[in-house]
Amino acid sequence: MNLLDVPKGKSVRIVDFLGGKSVFYKLVQLGVSPGRVVKVLRYAPMGGPLMLDVEGRSVALGRRIAGRIQVEVVK
């Protein structure tokens, strides 16, 4: 499942990224790295970015990059 499939308010664990090194480095700089638990805060309307809670910080991600992030549900 990718990050765009996660309902608002749910927490998920980052599993992997689909893409090259540039995508990986950009996401790691934002604190979105494999093994980290993030929570989807909201989806902006009209195809805008989604907001994530990453260890108490709000991070905005574009939908193209969010679609490349593979996640699993946290139990």
The domains of the chain, with CATH numbers, are 3-73 (2.30.30.90)
Please state the rounded mean pLDDT for residues 1-8.
95
Please state the rounded mean pLDDT for residues 28-44.
94
Confidence of residue 48 (pLDDT cuts 50, 70, 90): very high
- Average pLDDT value over all residues in the chain: 93
Alpha carbon distances (Å) from 57 to 21, 22, 30, 46, 48: 24, 22, 10, 24, 19
Q: What is the value of pTM for the model shown? A: 0.86
